[in-house]
Structure 1
Amino acid sequence: MLSAKLKNITPSFTIGISTKVQQLKQQGIDIISLSIGEPDFLTPAAAKEKAIEAICQNKTKYDAAAGLGDLRKAIQNKLFHENNISYDVDEIVVSSGAKHAITNALMAILDPGDEVIIPKPFWVSYPEMVKLVGGTPLLLDTKKENQFKVVPQEIENVLTHRTKMIFITNPSNPTGVVYTKDELEAIASLCLKHGIYILADEIYEKICYTDSFTSIASLSASIKSITITVNGLSKSAAMTGWRIGYTATNKELAKAIASIQGHLVSHPSTISQWASVAALTECQTEMREMVKIYKERRDIAVEALNRIDGLSFIHPQGAFYIFIDISSFKNKIKWNESFSIAFSNQLLEEAQVAVVPGIAFGMDDFIRISYACDTKDLIEGINRIQTFIQNYSR
């Protein structure tokens, strides 16, 4: 007697892989996991201390549905000083992670059957989120020669009268590419022309190795009015379990999102919110150090992968992933419905390395590895991949 909508929902590939890895490790098997999208760093001390202080001071009661005033003010300052976007505090809503922030926005905007353009490759949950709130995901093919960045003409080709929104993930999960200001302006101008919302998922914004990062909402006042900026603390401050994300939008949409959240969850944990105040105001040094180490790991991984014949990949400019083209091995691996799943399963069974199959991101000729792990494990994992590849190249 379950809801009919669940028939069209695909279980999370990443959670399934993590479960399998845990089971194998419990059996004593030496698994190197390059699959998880979670920082291996600890939450900065100041954030933890702020949470303890909040508990000791009994800051444990209900608060505003849109989030603590102190935290929204800290987010407002962050967006102004780091992203060059001026938001009022009442245009910011704090949610239980970026996933929740995105879902709130979708619920506030979509009517049944409304379409959302999702460029491929996409983060695994986007299509399922759209379907769960009654929308229709339009999966848009992009080109490898463009680093899988969507371009205006590709958007124009799939637009219909039901199109309400497009997802732009910057930096990208799974590719790690970063859009330039000019590329974003071209996309945003098209969205303005057609009256389409831009959901700008910028959760990896701080993990960026280019000289500059452009937030879409900073481009102009008119573009800001159609942009839903989504961010959070999970990746930048290694606070995945604290579950704090947020949206910054126009006032009408922010009010709607806060109303939805008020009915569904009231607000995120007050303790997590106080920790996030400290993360945003006191932990910049720790955040920069994390990014420095991610970049060092990125360089190590890229150098090692470049030595493996038969593989190619998108050079990552941000986040902590590498999206690897494995299509040259399609005739060397037995597979039925999904090549990337078969490849990933054999890699796990024969080389004890866990990766995410590209089909999870809508691209079956790829796998994704993460370098949010110990450098020694990263090197060992890539060495095992190389040995696995060599065995199938003979």
Structure 2
Amino acid sequence: MECAGKGRGTRCIGPPTRRCGRCGAVSYCSVSHQISHWSDHKEECERLEQHMKRADDLNDFPFTFTAEATLLGFEKRESRCSFLSKRGIHRQGMWVCECRCGASLTSFDCLRSRDEGWNLSSDLCPCRGPPSPIAKHLKSWADYYEWRCIPLHSPVALLLHWPLMIYHATQVASVRSLTVENCNELCIHYLGPEKELLQLAAFWELQALFPGMKVHIQFIGPAIPEHRDGQKIDLCSYAHCLDTDCICRSLSENVNRGAVTDKSSNVTVQLHRGYYHDRYRDFAEDSFPHLIIGPNAGIAAYPSWLPTIELINEIGVPAVFSDYCEEACHLAECCITRVTGHPLAIPIQINPFKQPMVVEDNALLLPCYSNCFLFGM
């Protein structure tokens, strides 16, 4: 956390321990920096105050580890590294980039996650198909865990928030029902993947969430290694668990030997390096999207989003974005409405499938989570 008045003429005199008395979302190193920053902060203070009032809703998860992952993390009494270490998954497989020390040792160039497992016992992870098809619309992590028969102390939601965000995005954009009625395929253009490139195996869960459908995901972003540009990856089985006698092992071996030939149930991912507005026409003719998704987008922070927003507005495809906090979504809304001349088609709302671990070292004192809020055009 930095002093909100940093760089305003004088050096910070210490840590930012003085919080704004009204919103409580920003902090300062001194009274002088707070006073000098007021001319900027007064425009956002009331809005941030309203955001802070929703903190309890943001920190509401059904998991047994909720306090450990939210409150203690926010107070810096618990870190991601220690959380993962307690569960034996620190720097393991798909979990490697879920903490700073793991991410610093990892390159997206590896892209080995489709060969990695959960590094958890079979009772803690979705390593095989669900016991029954989805009988109702999943509205929360509690619904998902109950359907998948996973205990609430399992940490798999930390990775599954990616596919569950896609699932929920199709619901709020009213895409899934139309797709199911009209065809058995779902095509998604997924913008700006980063961590996801090392957690691809978790995306096979889309087969359980969209049973009987062939799901195509076009990953487009500058983080994709140049030599992987254009690569197509078939995700043909669930990520396996640690149990050597689990059925997921034999299923995975059968897939590797070519015993499974029903490609209609596959989830396929294709990689494209670059920005969406630069690469769209390279693959759109063969892969026109039902939905565009931009996770943790940071639309107001990156000018490269402006031509992408113009393109999305031009092609008229539903687009759902997410961000870490409500303020980032508000700033993104201002950018989108300025470009399109229209209000958001999907208003800013809490994502019930946000990652249940607070983001470390936020710019604001707002609770921040990966894929925390959704909005769309």
Normalized against structure 1, the TM-score is what?
Answer: 0.28
**Structure 1 or 2: larger helix share?**
1
TM-score (norm 2): 0.29
Q: Which of the pair has the greater relative contact order for Cα pairs under 8 Å at 6+ separation?
A: 1
